[in-house]
A and B are shown apart, each in its own frame.
Chain A
Amino acid sequence: MSTATIPTRFAADFRAICGAEHVSEDPAQLQAWNILGVAPALAVTPASADEIAGILRFANEHGLSVVPAGGFTQQQVGNPPPQIDVVLFTARLTAVEHYDVGDLTVGIGAGCTVAQLSAMVAKDGLFFAGDPAQPERSTIGGLLATGLYGPLRHGYGGLRDYCIGVRFVTGDGRKAKGGGRVVKNVAGYDMMKLLIGSQGTLGIITSASFKLFPAPRQTRTFVAVFPSAAEALQFRSQVLRSPLDPICLELVSPQAHELLAPGSPAAAGWSICLRAAGSETVLARYRTELGTAVVREMEGANEQGFWRTLSDFSPLAAERHPRSLLISMTLPVRDVQSVLNEVSTVAESNHFLFAAIGRVGIAHLLVSLWPAPDAEDSLVSFVDTVSGLRNRVPRDASLAVLHCPSETRHHISAWGPMPTDLESMRAVKMALDPKDILNRGRFLF
């Protein structure tokens, strides 16, 4: 582990900005906040966008690297930072900016957790559609910055569809915003799109506004099991062509089933798990359309628990198999089958096993791969598995390695080729964070 040191006089400046009690230099605490083994030199917990602007202006002036942090659930994702001068927590930015129940909109501080927001709106029969892993820790700012989503992405769209406004501070300390609090708004550039999935490299999000949805009165989950991925995906295509309009449409591989429900009777095959919302009449129609392929229905706490666990696939997989790869892929829908074939081929040739889940209606896959019990666990096999997959994914796909054994980190790039022009992305980075203060070395540049 390495710890950066920044001159004590800088710490005094940060204390002046946000108060001594909100600046930490405690080595043990800083070590706990290490990112891939690199510990920050200083932690600050500012109270406002103004304080964040002050901190970033200062950091920008002195060339200090800053890591924005929410619930620390995704900080091990990305390339290892060369050095971290400051870790900046958004925990004190939790104010509700607006909550318009009749309009189905809410604006909330970046430090609020997803679970807190969901609980707040649930009281009024509303529903926040973000369902990342670990919602009790995951914050709104982190959710936007990482662009994470879960199974509900199928029916409710992604953050880019229901985030209607954002406030942030650029790397050079300018306070900025995009959008607003109304559901339809095209005034000015769409800054929400730039910040969602920017991995904290363009600005520090201080608050955001969202569309909310009416909470479904009841839901039901239908599970269909197939001997092969191909047959499961055929069923998926049949659902996509049907008039059915599920809120989740998820593929679960046999190993993934075992991983999600350890000790349960091993699933014989590949499942399609379809979650529908509606009245008994509507659900009856689902039953008719889906036919005999459905072997199981879930409802109530059982159903809630299932989807909650599925959302937590990433941390569960990394916990169960610490020496594993966790790969996230976005694809054109048609390519899911061929990519799963490639995963299988590459895994086999490197003596790996794999568990896959995914939003197969929109083609987002999460795949965990680990060495088979009898196989040699070598650095080369991990590196070869990733490069094997990167070489085989189709055009228009993008593939990120969210987790890998620590000693392989320096040999495996977290982010591979992307469909979007790199130089244009660099131009955006230069415009908002010209000195590369934010999450230096961790994302694209």
Chain B
Amino acid sequence: MPVNLPGLVEHLREIAGRDAVLDRPEDLMLYEYDAGIRKSTPGAVVFPQNTEQVSQIMRLATALNVAVVARGAGTGLSGGSIPQAGGLVIAFSRMNRILEVDVENQRATVRPGVVNLQLSEHVSHLGLYFAPDPSSQKACTIGGNVAENSGGPHTLMHGVTVNHVTGVEVVMPSGEIVHFGGKAAESYGYDLTGFMVGSEGTVGIVTAITVKLLRKPEKIATLLGVFESVDDAALTVSAITAAGITPAALEMLDGWTLRTVEAFCHAGYPLDAGAVLLIELEGLREAVEEQAIAVREVCLSQKAREVRRAKDDDERALLWKGRKMAFAALGRVTPSYYTQDGVVPRSQIPAVMRHIGNVAKKYDLTIGNIFHAGDGNLHPLILFDMRNAEQFERVLSASSEILEFCIQCGGSITGEHGVGLEKRDLMSRLFTEEDLDVMISLRNAFNGRDILNPQKIFPTPRMCREITGPSQNPVLMQEGL
């Protein structure tokens, strides 16, 4: 891609301001990675302050044929915000205002750079909150949530990001600024709002987002089910679903993970347990009390050693602290870890947990599990040391085998992290060439020159033909990026 970078940078400075562009190698290094395992250095980073600037930047990028990726906080796990080498990063940290809170309509309109948790904190005094709650919610941005269609523990009851977005302002590759949807729950016409969410930055650049705000529940009950084995806990997950109870959240931590977490943040998890389930119920006081009794019964009937209930907000916060700090805790025991995001039908959780255990043995790896059990969304964490190339090979093979199991039992390769770079070559295992061709024709309808986040989601045509099965290694095949 022949790009006159000095010229590009000068133009960007004219558009966004002299202090709003980075192009020195030491600065660019900070923008070459996300929270996953891939790296690629951009040619420049620009920090627009308004939609008009984004529009001008897109016009410029299109004219110069420069690849563009939008970036929020860089907390993604699938390589979604990794730039093309030498490409342009549009960083949204200066477009971080909450534009409007409309209490009566229970909507907020925000810039993409607003941090997820900030919005909930901002409207908390009104008794409202923004439901999607990724584990990185203290850092991740709503723009990033929209791009990846992010989830979180409480999406079990409330749905993922797309279920909470009713309107977007979008800058197209041409620089044109368009609007999809608005404050109404639904409207006539194609649901391009829904289509934009989760399109991983390949269709347009979202510059404003109208989201639903939910009313805080009257009552929350948080229970901790303690089990001797992962198997017992996994069977309990299916039993809770089958009993017709929809918890707000239903999370599992296996024994290894809960001990690692407990050592780090003292959440009160029993150190000798095989697994725990963190179960949250919310709603009308009377309904929550009834469900809490039902959940306890189900847990005990599935051989729970004990079921604890948080007595107050502090205890509840502590139980959740363990869950939300888990990734930080892992940093103390391993140089690196690889997080997978496979999904299985909920009834398959016992089987997939056994499979993960076998895979760990087969490849002689430590795999922790801390995940959204209620909707079958796994997060096996495979520990490794980047300096050990042979071990890394085993990590990738193990990861492929786990995802292959998910695919075989009717699941998916990603529940909330997105396909990004990481899993694009596995897309051919879920979708036929014709399925992908239809999706690509939609991408091309908006982004025909493929300058918006190129190389994401879709396998390269070469890969499409060559990939044959799980023995192929998804990440190594991306070498050369």
Q: Which residues of A contact B167 (CB under 8 A)?
A: 396, 419
Q: B168: nearest residue on chain A (CB-CB)?
A: A420
Q: Most B CB atoms within 10 A — which of A181, A182, A243, A278? A: A182
With A243-B285, A282-B286, A431-B445 as known contacts, state yes or no: A183 contacts B376, CB within 8 Å: yes
Q: Which residues of B contact A364 (CB under 8 A)?
A: 185-186
Interface residue ranges of B341-397 to A (CB < 8 Å): 343-347, 372, 375-377
CA distance A429 to B189 in the complex (A): 11
CA distance A428 to B194 in the complex (A): 13
Q: Most B CB atoms within 10 A — which of A281, A420, A425, A431? A: A420
Segment of A98-106, A262-270, A304-312 in the binding face? A98-106
Segment of B101-109, B332-340, B467-475 in the binding face? B101-109
Q: A197: nearest residue on chain B (CB-CB)?
A: B191
Within the complex, which residue of A185, A187, A244, A395 is in contact with B284, where a contact is CB–CB below 8 Å? A244
Q: A215: nearest residue on chain B (CB-CB)?
A: B244
Q: Is A185 touching B238 in the complex (CB atoms < 8 A)?
A: no
CA distance A155 to B163 in the complex (A): 14
Chain A CB within 8 A of B412 CB: yes
Segment of B9-17, B67-75, B154-162, B225-233 in the binding face? B154-162
Q: Which residues of B contact A237 (CB under 8 A)?
A: 104
Q: Which residues of A contact B477 (CB under 8 A)?
A: none
Within the complex, which residue of B104, B106, B345 is in contact with A103, where a contact is CB–CB below 8 Å? B345
Q: Is A194 touching B191 in the complex (CB atoms < 8 A)?
A: yes
Interface residue ranges of B164-182 to A (CB < 8 Å): 167, 172, 178-182
Q: Is A189 touching B442 in the complex (CB atoms < 8 A)?
A: yes
Q: How far is the CB of A430 from chain B (nearest CB, A)?
A: 6
Q: Is B438 touching A176 in the complex (CB atoms < 8 A)?
A: yes
Chain A CB within 8 A of B308 CB: no
Q: Which residues of A contact B284 (CB under 8 A)?
A: 243-245, 278, 282, 285
Chain A CB within 8 A of B328 CB: no
CA distance A98 to B184 in the complex (A): 33
With A186-B148, A189-B199 as known contacts, state yes or no: A334 contacts B185, CB within 8 Å: no
With A174-B437, A190-B194, A430-B445 as known contacts, state yes or no: A418 contacts B178, CB within 8 Å: no
Q: Is B155 touching A181 in the complex (CB atoms < 8 A)?
A: no
State the total of A-B contacts with C-beta under 8 angstroms: 269
Q: How far is the CB of A357 from chain B (nearest CB, A)?
A: 16
Q: Which residues of A contact B286 (CB under 8 A)?
A: 278-279, 281-282, 284-285
Q: Is A182 touching B445 in the complex (CB atoms < 8 A)?
A: no
Within the complex, which residue of B149, B185, B194, B343 is in contact with A330, where a contact is CB–CB below 8 Å? B185
Binary CB contact string for chain B from 435 to 457 against chain A (1 if under 8 A, 0 otherwise): 11111011111100000000001
Chain B CB within 8 A of A333 CB: yes
Segment of A85-93, A157-165, A368-376 in the binding face? A157-165
Q: Is B185 touching A193 in the complex (CB atoms < 8 A)?
A: no
Q: Which residues of B contact A332 (CB under 8 A)?
A: 102, 105, 107, 182-184
Within the complex, which residue of A103, A186, A415 is in contact with B415, where a contact is CB–CB below 8 Å? A186
Q: How far is the CB of B188 from chain A (nearest CB, A)?
A: 4
CA distance A180 to B148 in the complex (A): 17
Within the complex, which residue of A182, A281, A331 is in contact with B376, where a contact is CB–CB below 8 Å? A182
Q: Is A187 touching B217 in the complex (CB atoms < 8 A)?
A: no
Q: Is B290 touching A281 in the complex (CB atoms < 8 A)?
A: yes
CA distance A396 to B167 in the complex (A): 9
Chain B CB within 8 A of A294 CB: no
Q: B177: nearest residue on chain A (CB-CB)?
A: A421
Q: Which residues of A contact B193 (CB under 8 A)?
A: 193, 420
Interface residue ranges of A410-445 to B (CB < 8 Å): 415, 418-421, 423-425, 427-432, 444
Q: Is A188 touching B195 in the complex (CB atoms < 8 A)?
A: no
Interface residue ranges of A121-149 to B (CB < 8 Å): 125, 147
Chain B CB within 8 A of A115 CB: no
Chain A CB within 8 A of B331 CB: no
Chain B CB within 8 A of A321 CB: no
CA distance A330 to B198 in the complex (A): 24
Q: Which residues of B contact A400 (CB under 8 A)?
A: 188
With A278-B287, A419-B179, A419-B189 as known contacts, state yes or no: A190 contacts B159, CB within 8 Å: no
Q: Is A158 touching B105 in the complex (CB atoms < 8 A)?
A: no
Within the complex, which residue of B189, B372, B423, B442 is in contact with A418, where a contact is CB–CB below 8 Å? B189
Q: Is A432 touching B106 in the complex (CB atoms < 8 A)?
A: no
Q: Which residues of B contact A363 (CB under 8 A)?
A: 184-185
* Interface bracket on B: 35 or more
Q: Which residues of B contact A194 (CB under 8 A)?
A: 190-192, 194-195, 442
Q: B406: nearest residue on chain A (CB-CB)?
A: A182
Q: Which residues of A contact B444 (CB under 8 A)?
A: 431
Interface residue ranges of A392-415 to B (CB < 8 Å): 395-400, 415
Q: A421: nearest residue on chain B (CB-CB)?
A: B178
Q: Which residues of B contact A395 (CB under 8 A)?
A: 182
Segment of B88-96, B262-270, B424-432 in the binding face? B424-432
Chain A CB within 8 A of B280 CB: no
Q: Most B CB atoms within 10 A — which of A178, A399, A431? A: A431
Q: How far is the CB of A156 from chain B (nearest CB, A)?
A: 11
Chain B CB within 8 A of A320 CB: no
Q: How far is the CB of A390 from chain B (nearest CB, A)?
A: 12
Binary CB contact string for chain A from 177 to 214 against chain B (1 if under 8 A, 0 otherwise): 11011111111111111101110001000000000011
CA distance A421 to B181 in the complex (A): 8
Q: Is B180 touching A187 in the complex (CB atoms < 8 A)?
A: no
Q: Which residues of B contact A421 (CB under 8 A)?
A: 178-180, 192
Within the complex, which residue of A147, A244, A425, A430 is in contact with B186, where a contact is CB–CB below 8 Å? A147
CA distance A177 to B438 in the complex (A): 9
Chain A CB within 8 A of B414 CB: yes
Q: Is B290 touching A279 in the complex (CB atoms < 8 A)?
A: yes
Q: How far is the CB of B104 from chain A (nearest CB, A)?
A: 4
Chain A CB within 8 A of B247 CB: no
Q: How far is the CB of A100 from chain B (nearest CB, A)?
A: 6
Q: Is A188 touching B431 in the complex (CB atoms < 8 A)?
A: yes
Q: Is A396 touching B186 in the complex (CB atoms < 8 A)?
A: no
Q: Is A431 touching B442 in the complex (CB atoms < 8 A)?
A: yes
Q: Is A197 touching B242 in the complex (CB atoms < 8 A)?
A: no
Chain B CB within 8 A of A293 CB: no
Chain B CB within 8 A of A323 CB: no
Q: B375: nearest residue on chain A (CB-CB)?
A: A184
Q: Which residues of A contact B190 (CB under 8 A)?
A: 194, 197-198, 202, 420, 425, 428-429
Chain A CB within 8 A of B413 CB: yes
Q: Which residues of A contact B241 (CB under 8 A)?
A: 102-104
Q: Which residues of B contact A279 (CB under 8 A)?
A: 286-287, 290
Within the complex, which residue of B155, B413, B445 is in contact with A428, where a contact is CB–CB below 8 Å? B445
Q: Is A189 touching B283 in the complex (CB atoms < 8 A)?
A: no
Q: Is A193 touching B195 in the complex (CB atoms < 8 A)?
A: yes
Q: Most B CB atoms within 10 A — which of A185, A243, A332, A395? A: A185
Q: How far is the CB of A216 from chain B (nearest CB, A)?
A: 9
Chain A CB within 8 A of B119 CB: no
Q: Which residues of B contact A383 (CB under 8 A)?
A: none
Q: How far is the CB of B460 from chain A (nearest CB, A)?
A: 16
Q: Which residues of B contact A9 (CB under 8 A)?
A: none
Chain B CB within 8 A of A296 CB: no
CA distance A161 to B107 in the complex (A): 18
Q: How far is the CB of B51 from chain A (nearest CB, A)?
A: 14
Q: Which residues of B contact A215 (CB under 8 A)?
A: 244
Q: Which residues of B contact A189 (CB under 8 A)?
A: 195, 198-199, 439, 442-443, 457
Q: A149: nearest residue on chain B (CB-CB)?
A: B186
CA distance A192 to B162 in the complex (A): 12
Q: Is A184 touching B155 in the complex (CB atoms < 8 A)?
A: yes
CA distance A194 to B203 in the complex (A): 14
CA distance A279 to B286 in the complex (A): 9
List 8 A–B pairs whose Cβ atoms lie within 8 Å, in order of A's numbering. Answer: A102-B242, A182-B343, A188-B439, A196-B191, A215-B244, A330-B184, A396-B187, A424-B446
Q: Spell out A's residues near B (CB within 8 Å).
A: 98, 100-105, 125, 147, 157-158, 160-161, 170, 174-178, 180-194, 196-198, 202, 213-215, 237, 240-241, 243-245, 278-279, 281-282, 284-285, 330-334, 362-364, 395-400, 415, 418-421, 423-425, 427-432, 444
